[in-house]
Amino acid sequence: METSIIEQQRQALEDIERSEQAIVAMMQQDLSKHRYRLLREHKISTLLTQIQTRSRQVLSLNEDSSGRRHEEMESMASHQLEQFTKRLDQIHAHYRGLPGGTVHPPEMEYARYAVNPEHVEREQRKKARAGGVLEEDTEGLVVDGGDTRDERSFVDEGDVERLDTMFSGDERLGRHVDLHAQHDLYLNLPQTPRTTYLEYLGQFSSFEEYPRHLKSHPTYTEYLQSLDDYFSGYFSRAKPLFDLPKTLDEAQKTFDHQWTEKKVPGWQAGEELTCTTCNRQFEKPTTYAAHMKSRKHQKAMERSKEPIESGDTEEKGDASRRVAWLETKVRTYAQILSDSLRDTRANIERRQGLTEAERRREQDEDDDGSGYSSADGSSDEQTYNPLNLPLGWDGKPIPFWLYKLHGLGIKFTCEICGNAVYRGRKAYEKHFMETRHATNMRRLGIPNTRQFHGIAAIDEAKELWERVQRDGKKEVANKDTFEEYEDSEGNVFNKKTYMDLKRQGLI
C-alpha cells in the first residue's frame, strides 16, 4: 500500500515526538547500576540519531521537489469525502490480505522506555527466590510455566552481552582506560626512558620533554595516532552522549591560533636551535653556533647532495603541524578524562596491594556481575564521607584514628609543583624526591639536591640557589688562602705565598 507524502510526514513527526518522550522518561529514572546508566546513554544516543534522521526526512518532504505534496494538498481540499473513502478502502483491502497479521502499535513499543530495568530485575529475582524458574519466551518472561510478565524495559535481550564485549577487562565498562598497547609503543620510541604502566598513565599527555628532533620519526607519529584512535573509540563506547566533535573543533581553533603565534606547547622554543642536517637539537645558542662551524657539520652538508626544495620545506612544516595537532588532541582527551585516569591509577595501586587469591575472587565476581554491586550502588551510599577522609585500598574511608595518627588533616602546599596539596608530613616530604618535583626544579634551573628539600616556594628556592652559587664562588676564590703548605725548615705558608716563593727560588 502506497503511503502518501502527508502520511509520511505525520509518521515522522510522531516518531520524533515519541522519541523525545522516551528520552525524558529514561532520564527521569533513578538508576544505581553503572551498566544500566551506560546502556541508557547508548539508547538515548540511538534515539537522538533517529530524531535527526526523521527531522531531515520531514525537511526533505517539505521542500516538495517532485510537487506531489502540493497535489495531495489540493486534492484533499477539493474532494475531502472522496479522498477519505478512497483511503479507507485501500486500508481495508491491505489488511484483508493479511488475515493473521499482528498489529504492533508504536505506543506499545515506546512504552518500555518508561520502565526501570532495575525494577524488572528485582521482580525477576523475587520470583526466582519464590521457587520459580525464569524462562525466556517470545511473549515475555514466563515464571513457573504460567505467570507471564509483559513488562519490558529499554534493555533488550542481548544488550548486556553486547555491552560487555565493547570493553576490555581493565576498562571495567568504561570506568577506567586501557592503554597497555600504547604503553608498549611508547617504550619502543627512540631515547625513551623505561617507565612502568602506572607512571605512564600520569605522563602520557606530556610531550614537552620529548626531544624535538625525534618527533619527526615515523614511530612517534604511529604512537600518537594509536592514542588518538583509542580515545576517539573510547568516547563513543564509554561516553556516547559527549559532544566530542564540538570539543575538538574548539581545540582546533585554539591550536591554529597558537601555531600561528608559535606558542604550541613543546613547539614554541628551540626551533632555531635544531640542525635538520645532523638531526640534532641544542639547548644553548652558543653550542648551536659551535656545531654549525664544526667539521662534522660541514661534512654532513657536503654529503647531502640534493638541495632543499621549498616544497620539501613546506611538506616538513605540514608534517610537524600534524604531529603537533595529534599531541594537542591527546592533551584534550586527557583533560576531559582526568577523573577516569585518576580512578585507573588508583585501581592499579589498589590491585597491587591485593593477594593473588583476592585478585582471582574479584575477577570471578566481576565475571558474575556481582562484583559491580559496590561500585554500582547508589551515589549517596558510595560517596557518604562526612569527614572527607581519604579512601583506602578497598575504596572506603580510612579509620579516623589512622587519619589523626598520620596527620592527614594537615595540608601542605608546594608552589613549585603548581600549588599541589599534600596531606600529612610524610607525603609532603616524600614528594621532594619524586619525578614531578625534580622536573619542576629543573625547569627553574635549580638542581634538586638535598639542601633544597623542604622548600616549596619558588622565590625561596631561587634565593637559596643564588646564595649557594655565591658561596661556591667565594670558596673557589679563597681556595688559595685556605690551603697551607710547609717548607723544609718547618715554616707554614698559604698556597699562594708558598707558590710565589717557590717560583722565585727562595724555598
Q: Got the DSSP string for 321-341?
A: HHHHHHHHHHHHHHHHTHHHH
Tell me the per-residue pLDDT of 228-238, one tens digit each, with 9 for 90 and over: 999 999 999 99
- Please report whether residue 484 resides in a domain: no
Asked whether residue 131 carries a pLDDT value surpassing 80, the answer given is: no
- Report the C-alpha gap between 405 and 426 in whole angstroms: 11
Q: Please report the pLDDT score of residue 315 as a whole number.
A: 60
- Please report whether residue 471 resides in a domain: no
Q: 416 and 323: one domain?
A: no
Q: 87 and 208: one domain?
A: no
Give 274's pLDDT tier (boundaries 50, 70, 90).
low
Give 223's pLDDT tier (boundaries 50, 70, 90).
very high
Q: 188 and 277: one domain?
A: yes
Asked whether residue 390 carries a pLDDT value surpassing 70, the answer given is: yes
- Please report whether residue 149 resides in a domain: no
- Report the C-alpha gap between 158 and 453 in whole angstroms: 58
Question: Which range among 69-78, 138-147, 275-284, 292-301 shows the weakest confidence by mean pLDDT?
Answer: 138-147
Q: pTM to 2 decimals?
A: 0.61
As a whole number, mean pLDDT of residues 434-460 equals 90
* Selected residue with higher pLDDT from 71 and 135: 71
Question: Which range among 126-135, 321-330, 412-421 shows the weakest confidence by mean pLDDT?
Answer: 126-135
H-type alpha helices, 304-424:
310-336, 338-352, 356-368, 379-382, 400-405
When divided into structural domains, the chain yields a total of 3
Q: 294 and 403: one domain?
A: no
Q: 106 and 208: one domain?
A: no
Mean model confidence pLDDT for the chain: 80
- Please report whether residue 258 resides in a domain: yes
Q: 187 and 322: one domain?
A: yes
- Please report whether residue 97 resides in a domain: yes
Q: 322 and 393: one domain?
A: no
Question: Which range among 154-168, 277-291, 391-405, 459-473 shows the weakest confidence by mean pLDDT?
Answer: 277-291
Going from the C-alpha of 67 to that of each of 62, 64, 271, 392, the distances in angstroms are: 10, 5, 63, 70
- Report the C-alpha gap between 141 and 149 in whole angstroms: 5
CA dihedral 90, 94, 99, 100 (to 10 degrees): -130
Final residue belonging to a domain, choices 73, 89, 112:
112
- Please report whether residue 187 resides in a domain: yes
Final residue belonging to a domain, choices 456, 481, 499:
456
Q: 180 and 86: one domain?
A: no
Q: 197 and 255: one domain?
A: yes
Q: Taking Cα atoms as reference points, which of 233, 229, 231, 207 lies closest to residue 220?
A: 207
Asked whether residue 353 carries a pLDDT value surpassing 80, the answer given is: no
Q: 321 and 241: one domain?
A: yes
The separation between CA 271 and the C-alpha centre of its own chain, rounded to angstroms, equals 29
Q: 186 and 321: one domain?
A: yes
As a whole number, mean pLDDT of residues 145-154 equals 57
Final residue belonging to a domain, choices 112, 137, 153:
112
Can you give the residue range of the structural domain that contains 72? Answer: 5-112
Asked whether residue 359 carries a pLDDT value surpassing 70, the answer given is: yes
Q: 221 and 325: one domain?
A: yes
Q: Say which residue the cell 631561587 belongs to.
A: 462
- Please report whether residue 84 resides in a domain: yes
216 close to 210: Cβ distance less than 8 angstroms: no
- Please report whether residue 180 resides in a domain: yes
